[in-house]
Amino acid sequence: MRDIKDLTLNELEEALIDWNESPFHAKQIFSWVYKKGAGSFEQMSDLSVNLRKRLKEDFYIYGLSVASELRSCDGTEKLLFKLRDGNYIEGVIIPAEGRVTGCISSQVGCKFACSFCASGLSGFKRNLTAGEILEQILFLKTYAPENKLTHIVFMGTGEPFDNYDNVMKAARIINSEYAFNIGARRITLSTNGIINGIEKLAGEKLQIKLSISLHAADDKTRSALMPINKKYPLKKLIDACKDYIEKTDRQVTFEYVLIKGVNSALKDAQNLSKILKGLRLCKINLIPANPIRELKIEPPNKLDILLFRDYLLKQ
């Protein structure tokens, strides 16, 4: 059986035509799955009994299950999903004033072994399908306030650009007016710096936001934190971001995790300001590191964080 969420609207229309059914039903099915959250084909009451039977024989809607959930005092909720093959991934609901963001995974595990990230501790298992990516959103919606997500960020487990085709297929369905209908500018892809992925995204006719996991402003430190930097060093990465901005006229966000004794000194702030100075549209998101005992990671003290931030604000 196939996951019906692996099909785009056009692909579902083609499948229906092959069954001698009207392609119009594809929009009805999309609405049932993505807008109404139908858990079975039997619920699709505006479809014929025969079509519902055929759909049930060939497709399934849900393949994930919620293995556990954790809620923090600020309303953030983390869900651990179990996949059909027994693997696990995470999704997070992040409520804030005027928005509710769903943070989703793109892979099972991660192969890039960033030294500050717990996602790669168990190694890389496989890519997620487009359907598995989309199903995370269906579940997150049911747990979100008022069953609504306003923004989606690909910042969970995995590297989105290492699963580019499935991620972009999912992103287009997220954006579709017949599915989640979330604006492209409310969808963010985060990458550790895979340059060919940045170049491909610049050519997409979809105004998705780009976020770069930077985390250091010199090659020695960044290569120690993120081995991907040895393949895509900072100069090439920043040049790719500059080209992306010029081609798309869209802002790039640089994520910077502050780690005590590693990348949080004043000289690091100075280097960061220097390497980003030539970028016309960019912003920096400073993130105090989450303590990870296995990786011996901890955040700087509050004063060092404020000094780092204040230096950048003055530039």
Tens-digit pLDDT profile for residues 69-114 = 999 998 899 999 999 999 999 999 999 999 999 999 999 999 988 8
| Single pTM value for the model | 0.94
Q: Which one-letter DSSP state was computed for residue 129?
A: P
Q: Which one-letter DSSP state was computed for residue 21?
A: -
Structure-token match 């790039």, residue found:
252
Q: From CA 54, how far away is CA 59, in angstroms rounded?
A: 8
Tens-digit pLDDT profile for residues 135-181 = 999 999 999 999 999 999 999 999 999 999 999 999 999 999 999 99
What is the four-CA torsion angle of 61, 66, 67, 68, rounded to 10 degrees? 170
State whether residue 103 is helix, strand or coil: strand
Say what the pLDDT of residue 39 is. 93
200 burial via Cβ count (<10 Å: 0-12, 13-18, 19+)? middle
Q: What are 153's two structure tokens?
A: 């960020």
Instruction: List per-block mean pLDDT (blocks of 10 residues) for the chain, which spans 315 residues.
Output: 97 98 98 96 97 97 95 93 96 95 96 80 90 98 94 96 98 97 97 97 94 97 96 97 96 97 96 94 94 82 96 93
- Three-state SS string over 27-46 comes to HHHHHHHHHCCCCCHHHCCC
Q: Which one-letter DSSP state was computed for residue 174?
A: H
